Amino acid sequence: MADELCFMPAARLAELFRTCQASPVDLVTAMLERIERLNPKLNAYLTVMADQALADARQAESDIHKGEYLGPLHGIPVALKDLYLTNGVRTTGGSKILADWVPHEDATTVSKLKAAGAIIIGKAHMHEFAMGPTNVNPHYGPACNPWNPECVPGGSSGGSGAAVAASMATVAMGSDTGGSIRIPGSLCGIAGHKPTYGLVSRYGVLPLSWSLDHAGPMTKTVEDAALMLNALAGYDLKDPASANRPVPDFRDALTGRVRGLRAGLPRRHFFDGLDPEVAAAVDDAIELLSGLGMSFTEVDFRDVEHVAATTMSISWSEATSYHEPYLDRLDDYGPDVRSRLELGKTMTATDYLRAQRVRRLICEEYASLMEKVDVLVTPTIRIPAPRIDECGEVLGVAGGADVKMVLSALTRPFNVTGAPALTVPCGFTTGGLPIGLQIAGRAFDDEVVLRVGHAYQTATAWHKRLPPV
Amino acid sequence: MADELCFMPAARLAELFRTCQASPVDLVTAMLERIERLNPKLNAYLTVMADQALADARQAESDIHKGEYLGPLHGIPVALKDLYLTNGVRTTGGSKILADWVPHEDATTVSKLKAAGAIIIGKAHMHEFAMGPTNVNPHYGPACNPWNPECVPGGSSGGSGAAVAASMATVAMGSDTGGSIRIPGSLCGIAGHKPTYGLVSRYGVLPLSWSLDHAGPMTKTVEDAALMLNALAGYDLKDPASANRPVPDFRDALTGRVRGLRAGLPRRHFFDGLDPEVAAAVDDAIELLSGLGMSFTEVDFRDVEHVAATTMSISWSEATSYHEPYLDRLDDYGPDVRSRLELGKTMTATDYLRAQRVRRLICEEYASLMEKVDVLVTPTIRIPAPRIDECGEVLGVAGGADVKMVLSALTRPFNVTGAPALTVPCGFTTGGLPIGLQIAGRAFDDEVVLRVGHAYQTATAWHKRLPPV
């Protein structure tokens, strides 16, 4: 029974906890055993908070027994990407620079999760300072994909992805600047939701590039992502980009009804150069959603070809600005991060501002496109998880392009626009690696994105498959 | 009678027009005669729209007679700083680069003023591309101060300031990046209101530095500024920084009651190095407002000493980004603007982003300060209007500082913070030059700023004095 609890989504656990049919202590105990067994193999966690998590589980059990049930996250174990500040617990950012740093406060989202009764079980592996999509980390070793430990889990929230996929956490927090929630979500076969820019506070989340950074949930199901978002969303004065606007109940948005919703298929760019198995799985998903009553039309996301250069100018500049105090310690960074910071130092103010102005045009194009459709449906990534030994700094994949550009090519456009974007598993390669379907929407229309993803999961079972670990 | 109409504020004219006791045709006819007589002396207008204004006045008269009265701006002549785009009318930006440019659409604010029945009477002189506070312009000659034509009107909206002060327009539009509404407002002895950042659209206003630029009214009275703001304020999808929030009735905010309002006096910086006559006039104004029931306490605006460097890094960078298409024509710019663009080219992305991050800290300081008081009261400028021949590129004034830095030292902090700030005349030097009082408030609390300014004007007569032209 206890190990079974590890495989359950939060929504199911919540029912068992609320009705005292199961206890958070049993779950956390079993999960810590799984972590002890699997983490040496997967390297999903940089820090496991075993004692604190067990104490919190006992407290949750006691509170629930006393009738003080806090809601669906009460007693649910959460893995935090190791760039969420945790009061009294080291927060490395996957770096050597911050290897011994212990913050004195929690990120706003961490406070919110704790207030909702969630249990922080550990700090998850990440690409150094979130500056890459592979989680091959020079300081902490690579994290591994639970579906095939010789492959990357994707990044930069790869530890979070691996932990949820391998049932070493029920839910997790990731962050997404160019795809860092959705890439590991897709490669690990779980749900990952990048909320609309401004919906979830980034206060206390180490920045990569603040105008592109998003904080969000990584979960076994879309329903769990909605439950997480209910706890996470809302205005925070401490995040300058936080939106001061009403927040809906995201669980209520999962009506199961998608009939009449209009989906756009941006064939150009988003369907170019796909691995054939990815293409086939996404085609099947589109057919299934059509069967549920959604209409599909081909659309063109104009100027999407400028996204890569735009995001790089912005993120290199902003990252280098953030890292200015450490730039005399360049040798303490891994080679890929170091080279980005060195590039960032060469950017001029006009380079940066030109990129932000191009970005504005891209946002206008996107807003105009989304007047005609409710969501876009695309693959999340063109390829399944690459092997760790293929992910050197610059590696020819799919015609010589850098693997990191390939991994983020379809996710980055929604960082530039700040639009909500969700990945859900939609199939597997013959080699047993997950394939992700991306659903993107209008700004602050996270509800419809989650509704489509949930309807898809209600009609399919891909998200129920467990990795062979 | 007709010339008297020229001297009236919009609120008084509105009563006469609404009740058909006077006609916009009489006003515009008289005003065009004044312009013909005075503009050769003051150079307040770069383009006078005589035929169109007369036609519009006839239309307004006819509409009002038919009972189609549009409200208090119906039939009121407006001068537009020559960076407001006007459909079919050249918009020079005070530059050689755009000397012959005729836009094909109106700025959002121009459309709004027209919809409110206002009459555009001409395009006002400005510092080249708004990049300076003197309106000594190498391409169009200097604009002159109506109180003493050997002095500058202040800038960069100096033509607008001179036009309203000399009754060559009833009201005007300026723009303010470092003080460009309030500096000519103060030096010309009129009201100038820089609204909260985001309250008034800048779409169709040539940018200087978009994260610091504000559009706003310059008027004979604070009441007129409120009437203008009623027409101007509101969300505009076309301005990325426009705030989507409800807009109050600013005229209703002018209750005359200021008893119990808490004013802060930021003595450090804002009261340092004042011309003695400026200091005395501001002290008198503070005493008067105290007598009306406002409480005054000394406060410290921490980090205000970082404002100058911060705004310069931001504005040089953003200006150079905007001017990138023309940077191969540097010789077509005046020497001061050219040197700014050359400096802007040397700024790095990290210079720019560091400035924006310092700015954030300054905004936090300001927000914290404004928890204790409702408004700040300060001089608008440390000195009265300098002579035109003193305003070379870099001139030693007040201990060797550049005159342009002196002119904007007290206004810039409210561009960095985006806070509303108003100037009203509060006295005259023995030489007959106006002195300005600045009232600044919390973001989106323009109402209280205007209320204080209006109460002050109700109790004083400085704003009724007419210049000797």
Question: What does B375-439 look like in DSSP terms, one character per residue?
Answer: EEEEES-SS-PPBGGG-SSS-EETTTEEHHHHHHTTTTHHHHS---EEEEEEEE-TTS-EEEEEE
Q: Are B425 and B456 in contact (CB under 8 A)?
A: no
Q: How far apart are CA A179 and CA A159, in angstroms?
A: 14
Range in A86-95, A154-163, A389-398, B351-360 with the lowest mean pLDDT: A389-398
Q: Do A317 and B349 touch (CB under 8 A)?
A: yes
**d(C-alpha B446, C-alpha B443), whole Å:** 7
In the predicted model, what is the mean pLDDT of chain B? 95
**Ramachandran region, residue B407 (left: φ > 0; alpha: ψ -120 to 50; beta: rest):** alpha
d(CA B92, CA A9): 63
**Residue A240, phi then psi, degrees to nearest 5:** -55, -25
Instruction: Identify the band that residue A392 occupies on the pLDDT scale cut at 50, 70 and 90.
Output: low
Question: What is the distance in angstroms between the Cα of B324 and the nearest Cα belonging to chain A?
Answer: 8
The answer, yes or no, to whether residue A188 has pLDDT greater than 60, is yes
Do A349 and B348 make contact, defined as CB atoms within 8 angstroms?
yes
> Does B344 touch chain A if contact means CB atoms closer than 8 Å?
yes
Contact A386, A152 (CB under 8 A): yes
Q: What is the mean pLDDT of residues B27-51?
A: 98
Spans of all domains in chain A:
2-464
pLDDT at position B392: 66
Q: Burial of B87 by CB count in 10 Å (0-12 exposed, 13-18 middle, 19+ buried)?
A: middle
Report strand pairing: A77-81 vs A171-176: parallel
Cite the active site residues of A: 81, 156, 180
**Residue in B318, B354, B360 closest to A353 by CB:** B318
CB pairs under 8 A between A and B: 59
Q: What pLDDT shows up at residue A403? A: 77
| Torsional sign, CA A316, A321, A323, A329 | positive
Whether this model's ipTM surpasses 0.95 comes out as no
Is the confidence at residue B93, as pLDDT, over 50?
yes
User: Which residues in chain B are contacts of A348 at CB distance < 8 A?
Assistant: 345, 347-349
Please name which of B341, B291, B305 lies closest in space to residue B320, comparing C-alpha atoms.
B341
**Exposed, middle or buried, A44 (CB in 10 Å: 0-12/13-18/19+)?**
buried
The pLDDT value given to residue B52: 98
* pLDDT value at residue B400: 37
To the query of whether residue B201 is one of the catalytic residues in this protein, the response is no
CB B415 within 8 A of CB B311: yes
Residue among A42, A138, A156, A39 nearest A95 (CA)? A138
Q: B292: Cβ–Cβ under 8 A, 6 or more apart, which residues? A: B258, B259, B455, B456, B459
CB neighbours of A328 closer than 8 A, spacing ≥ 6? none
State whether B344 and A345 contact (CB < 8 Å): no
DSSP A411: T
Which of A240, A345, A349 is nearest residue B352 as measured by Cβ atoms? A349
pLDDT tens figures, A22-55: 999 999 999 999 999 999 999 999 999 999 999 9
**Binary contact (A357, B240; C-beta < 8 A):** no
Q: With an 8 Å Cβ cutoff, are B344 and A350 in contact?
A: yes
The predicted pLDDT at position A360 comes to 95
Q: Does A209 contact B at CB distance below 8 Å?
A: no
Chain A closest CA to B327's CA: distance in Å? 12
* Percent of chain A clearing pLDDT 70 (strictly above): 97
The CB density around residue B463, as the number of other CB atoms within 10 Å, is 22
Q: Chain B interface, mutation test: which of A239, A242, A342, A353, most B Cβ atoms within 10 Å?
A: A353
| Closest among B306, B309, B314, B349 to A324, alpha carbons compared | B349
In the three-class reduction of DSSP (H, G, I as helix; E, B as strand; rest coil), residue A113 is classed as: helix
DSSP string, B223-241: HHHHHHHHHHBS--TTSTT
Residue of B nearest to A316 (CA): B349
CA–chain centroid gap for B227, Å, is: 15
Predicted confidence at residue A398, as pLDDT, reads 40
| Digit-coded pLDDT (tens) for A309-325 | 999 999 999 999 999 99
CA-closest candidate to residue B160, choices B113, B195, B126: B126
Distance, in Å, from the CA atom of B425 to the CA atom of B188, rounded to the nearest integer, reads: 8
Name the fold adopted by B2-464: Amidase signature (AS) enzymes (3.90.1300)
Q: What angle do CA B82, B85, B87 make, to 5 degrees?
A: 120
Whole-number Cα distances in Å, B122 to A98, A388, B79, B370: 60, 68, 5, 39
Helix (H) or strand (E) holding A420: none
Radius of gyration of chain A (CA): 20
Which chain A residues contact residue B344 at CB under 8 A? 349-350
**CA separation for the pair A277, A274 (Å, rounded):** 8
Q: What are the structure tokens assigned to B227, written together?
A: 């009437």
- Facing residue for B321 by CB, picked from A316, A344, A350: A350
Look at residue A390 and tell me whether its pLDDT is greater than 90: no
User: Coil, strand or helix: which one is A298?
Assistant: strand
Q: Rounded mean pLDDT of B306-319? A: 96
What does the alpha-carbon distance between residue A348 and residue B353 come to, in Å, rounded to a whole number?
Answer: 11
Pairing of strands A396-397, A401-402: antiparallel
The whole-number average pLDDT for the span A57-70 is: 97
Q: B305 Cβ partners below 8 Å, 6+ apart?
A: B269
What digits encode the pLDDT tens for the residues A396-438? Answer: 344 334 777 899 999 999 999 999 999 999 999 999 999 999 9
Residue B1 pLDDT? 63
Predicted confidence band at A3 (pLDDT cuts at 50, 70, 90)? confident
Token reading at A2: 């206890």
For residue A123, the SS3 value is strand
CB proximity B361 to A under 8 Å: no
Q: Under DSSP, is residue A212 helix (H, G, I), strand (E, B) or coil? A: coil
pLDDT over 60 (residue A393): no
Residue contact A353–B317, C-beta within 8 A = yes
Contact A168, A35 (CB under 8 A): yes
Burial of A302 (0-12, 13-18, 19+ CB in 10 A): middle
State the pTM of this model.
0.91
> Of A268-282, B229-243, B390-404, which gets the smallest average pLDDT?
B390-404
Determine contact, residues A145/A188, Cβ cutoff 8 Å.
yes
DSSP assignments along B55-122, one per residue? HHHHHHHHHHHTT----TTTT-EEEEETTB-BTTB---TTSSTTTT---SS--HHHHHHHHTT-EEEE
A351, closest residue in chain B (CA to CA): B349
Please indicate if any CB of chain A lies within 8 Å of the CB of B350: yes
CA dist., res. B421 & res. B439, Å (int): 6
Q: How far apart are CA A129 and CA B31, in angstroms?
A: 64
Residue B357 sits at the chain A interface (C-beta within 8 Å): yes
What percentage of chain B reaches a pLDDT higher than 90? 95
Residue B398 in this model has a pLDDT that exceeds 70: no
Distance CA B331, CA A145 (A): 60
What is the three-class DSSP state of A165?
helix
Establish if B238 touches chain A: CB-CB under 8 angstroms: no
Express each pLDDT in B129-179 by its tens digit: 999 999 999 999 999 999 999 999 999 999 999 999 999 999 999 999 999
Structure tokens at B135: 């309106």
Q: Which residues pair with B48 in a beta bridge?
A: B122
C-beta atoms of B351 and A349 within 8 A: yes
CA proximity to A378, closest of A240, A236, A254, A279: A279
- Whether A350 sits inside 8 A of B348 (CB atoms) is no
How confident is the model over B280-289, as pLDDT tens digits?
999 999 999 9
Give the Å distances, CA to CA, from A458 to A4, A374, B388: 21, 20, 76
Closest CA to B319 of B138, B27, B97: B97
Stated as kind and residue range, the H or E segment containing A176 is strand A171-176
Residues B407-420, mean pLDDT to the nearest whole number: 97
The angle at the Cα of A440, spanning A434 to A444, to the nearest 5 degrees, equals 135
